[in-house]
């Protein structure tokens, strides 16, 4: 093994990445520190081991996954800069981080405080929310794949590798390192979606707060069965310092029934943020020494019962705690309905009923759209009638200072009160100009991400070039150092090599996402972003392609796709049962 790990040391991969030292190794790959000679920076290069790199089908999947993951750009995701084009060596080039894995961190510290666990969990959820929005599911969220950087931030790694590892071990479930975090649907062998990542994150939160895994066993099969059927030991029964509200978040994330789980990372983030705010509120108010707020009569308030920093009743059963949660949910539901009705009545009173019962002069709202905001606001004709409130918006198509929209809308008749009529005006800031950076000779995905961060819309075309390496930017329009309007389109020309081979764009409409990507990869057509839109067609069905089928295009032309989110599913009762037998799994730990 040592010789296999050392054989790339000193080599220059693709005439660019100088391999310097081994910094990690796992079941699937070896990670090296390398120097990128083109950009003069240190990077991490993850090289797949021969048994995977020599598999043609795996190589093709690897390339597709690498391209997709390279489009992710988020502060909590390890950035992927490049991937191999050399069939003799399959690798991914990533940002080099200074830190340790979350697993190593927990091994050093034991159970984490709820504040630290919340800090880490929120960042992981943000990373998942970004990736899921791009149609990418990790499928192997575990502390070994999460980096704790020196500044305390979190970076989720191995999106592409995780997907490939799942495919490569389809008959063996997962590796021993992953089985502790696997979702019930993965253990059952079912198709997975983003909710599998949410379950795995729930397990990670459980481990952070308790210092131990929720399910243990001597074999992979034994652990898998527990994920499917075993009653979970409550985190609060292990660590009484865990706030009940945080415990409830973990329990929902780890729900065996996929429809009872958080349905998106964004939904989980909302609850984590609400919990954070509730704890901040508790800290700022008077609290008793057990962390529970008191009502005026000395009894714990509802707020304290929901968000107390110590468990309310020790030793109560899981069933009784669920009953308590249902009671709180019912009370909260009534409270929300009451607030909603009050808001509706208030709205009707202010905008309709009041005008019927109160006899006052009525004013028809004029149109302010298209007028100069300064002249309108300072007009003597309006000063005794209207109270103007201004907000601003970037609109390259509207001159600076011109009114874009108004509330209430023009033509509406409103009763004039003593205080006047409030009018909200949205005013254009005009065209905000940005200096174009020099993107020539930059890898085109890096260039695309950088330009999108500046607010540009990017369109890519492939051209022949004798001087620029394939996959790198030949020119941009506008050119470097020219001024361009924020929100405008930037065209980048990418080298396809000295000669461009023409291929025919396939008709992808109605095809599945995987089939479409496979067809494009076979023709060396690069896949850009794939967005999901509402449709009654099955999930993943291609609804739109940026280049029509039948057109002649150059190899490595970038195409963008839109696929169906799938029809909305009505909730179904949980009739799942544990399988009579669970497939055996490899005990090898993967990277």
Q: 540, 533, 525, 516: which is closest to 460 by C-alpha?
A: 525
Q: 184, 179, 161, 177: which is closest to 102 by C-alpha?
A: 177
Give the Cα separation of 173 and 180 in Å (integer).
Answer: 12
Whether residue 20 contacts residue 14, with contact meaning beta carbons closer than 8 Å, is answered with: no
Whether residue 185 contacts residue 198, with contact meaning beta carbons closer than 8 Å, is answered with: no
What is the pairing mode between strands 526-533 and 558-564? Answer: parallel
Whether residue 227 contacts residue 174, with contact meaning beta carbons closer than 8 Å, is answered with: no
Give the Cα separation of 73 and 529 in Å (integer).
Answer: 12
Whether residue 204 contacts residue 143, with contact meaning beta carbons closer than 8 Å, is answered with: yes
Catalytic residue among 82, 129, 140, 526: 140
Whether residue 480 contacts residue 437, with contact meaning beta carbons closer than 8 Å, is answered with: yes
Percent of the chain as helix, strand, coil, to the nearest 5: 35, 20, 40
Give the Cα separation of 496 and 493 in Å (integer).
Answer: 9
Helices within 243-390 (DSSP H only):
244-253, 265-284, 302-307, 318-348, 354-357, 373-377
> Helix, strand, or coil here: 47?
strand
Whether residue 14 contacts residue 64, with contact meaning beta carbons closer than 8 Å, is answered with: no
Any idea what DSSP says for residue 590? P
Cα separation values, 102 from 203, 284, 306, 489, Å: 13, 31, 29, 40
Any idea what DSSP says for residue 462? E
Whether residue 549 contacts residue 506, with contact meaning beta carbons closer than 8 Å, is answered with: yes
Give the Cα separation of 199 and 347 in Å (integer).
Answer: 41
Q: 177, 127, 178, 179: which is closest to 155 by C-alpha?
A: 127
Any idea what DSSP says for residue 172? G
Retrieve residue 14's tokens.
């693709």
Give the Cα separation of 571 and 270 in Å (integer).
Answer: 22
Give the Cα separation of 437 and 440 in Å (integer).
Answer: 9
**What angle do the packed helices 114-133 and 194-210 form, to 10 degrees?**
170
> Helix, strand, or coil here: 249?
helix
Give the Cα separation of 84 and 87 in Å (integer).
Answer: 8
Retrieve residue 314's tokens.
């020790």
Q: What are the φ and ψ backbone dihedral angles of 322, each rounded to 5 degrees?
A: -65, -35
∠ CA 477-480-486 to the nearest 5 degrees? 65
Residues sharing a CB contact under 8 Å with residue 15, sequence separation 6 or more, in sequence order: none
Whether residue 218 contacts residue 235, with contact meaning beta carbons closer than 8 Å, is answered with: no
For the question of residue 140 being annotated catalytic, the response is yes
The residues carrying an active-site annotation are 140
């Amino acid at each position: 093994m040592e010789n296999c790990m050392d054989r790339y040391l000193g080599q220059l991969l693709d005439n660019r990445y100088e391999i310097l030292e081994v910094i990690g190794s796992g079941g699937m790959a070896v990670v090296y520190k390398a120097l990128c000679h083109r950009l003069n920076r240190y990077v991490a290069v993850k090289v797949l081991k021969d048994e995977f790199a020599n598999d043609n089908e795996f190589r093709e999947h690897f390339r597709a996954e690498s391209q997709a993951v390279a489009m992710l750009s988020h502060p909590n995701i390890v950035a992927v800069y490049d991937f191999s084009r050399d069939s003799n060596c399959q690798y991914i080039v990533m940002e080099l981080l200074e830190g340790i894995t979350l697993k190593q961190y927990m091994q050093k510290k034991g159970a984490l405080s709820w504040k630290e666990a919340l800090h880490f969990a929120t960042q992981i959820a943000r990373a998942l929310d970004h990736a899921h929005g791009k149609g990418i599911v990790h499928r192997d969220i575990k502390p070994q794949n999460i980096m704790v950087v020196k500044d305390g931030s979190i970076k989720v790694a191995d999106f592409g590798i995780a997907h490939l590892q799942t495919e490569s071990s389809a008959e063996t479930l997962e590796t021993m390192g992953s089985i502790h975090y696997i979702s019930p649907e993965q253990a059952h062998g079912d198709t997975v979606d983003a909710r599998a990542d949410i379950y795995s994150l729930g397990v990670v939160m459980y481990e952070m707060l308790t210092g131990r895994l929720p399910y243990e066993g001597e074999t992979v099969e034994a652990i898998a069965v527990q994920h499917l059927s075993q009653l979970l030991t409550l985190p609060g029964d292990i660590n009484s310092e865990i706030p009940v509200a945080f415990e409830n978040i973990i329990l929902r994330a780890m729900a065996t029934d996929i429809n009872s789980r958080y349905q998106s990372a964004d939904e989980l983030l909302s609850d984590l943020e609400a919990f954070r705010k509730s704890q901040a509120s508790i800290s700022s108010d008077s609290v008793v020494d057990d962390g529970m707020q008191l009502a005026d009569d000395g009894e714990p308030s509802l707020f304290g019962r929901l968000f107390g920093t110590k468990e309310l009743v020790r030793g109560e059963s899981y069933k009784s705690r669920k009953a308590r949660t249902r009671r709180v949910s019912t009370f909260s539901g009534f409270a929300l309905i009451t607030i909603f009705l009050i808001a509706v009545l208030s709205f009707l009173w202010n905008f309709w009923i009041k005008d019927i019962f109160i006899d006052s002069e009525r004013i028809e709202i004029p149109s302010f759209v298209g007028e100069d905001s300064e002249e309108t606001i300072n007009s003597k004709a309006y000063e005794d009638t209207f109270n103007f409130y201004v907000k601003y918006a970037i609109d390259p198509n509207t001159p600076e200072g011109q009114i874009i929209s108004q509330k209430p809308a023009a033509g509406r008749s409103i009763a004039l009160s003593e205080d006047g009529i409030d009018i909200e005006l949205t005013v254009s800031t005009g065209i905000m100009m940005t200096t174009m950076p020099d993107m020539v000779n930059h890898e085109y995905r890096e260039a695309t991400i950088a330009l999108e961060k500046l607010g540009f819309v990017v369109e890519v075309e492939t051209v022949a070039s004798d001087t620029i390496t394939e996959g790198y930017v030949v020119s941009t329009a506008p050119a470097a150092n020219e001024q361009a309007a924020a929100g405008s389109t930037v065209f980048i020309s990418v080298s396809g090599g000295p000669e461009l081979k023409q291929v025919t764009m396939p008709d992808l409409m109605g095809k599945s996402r995987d089939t479409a990507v496979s067809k494009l990869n076979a023709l060396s057509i690069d896949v850009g972003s794939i967005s999901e839109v509402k449709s009654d067609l099955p999930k993943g069905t291609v609804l739109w392609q940026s280049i029509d089928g039948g057109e002649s295009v150059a190899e490595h032309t970038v195409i963008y796709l839109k696929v169906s989110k799938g029809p909305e599913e009505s909730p179904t009762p949980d009739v799942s049962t544990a399988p009579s037998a669970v497939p055996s799994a490899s005990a090898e730990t993967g990277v």
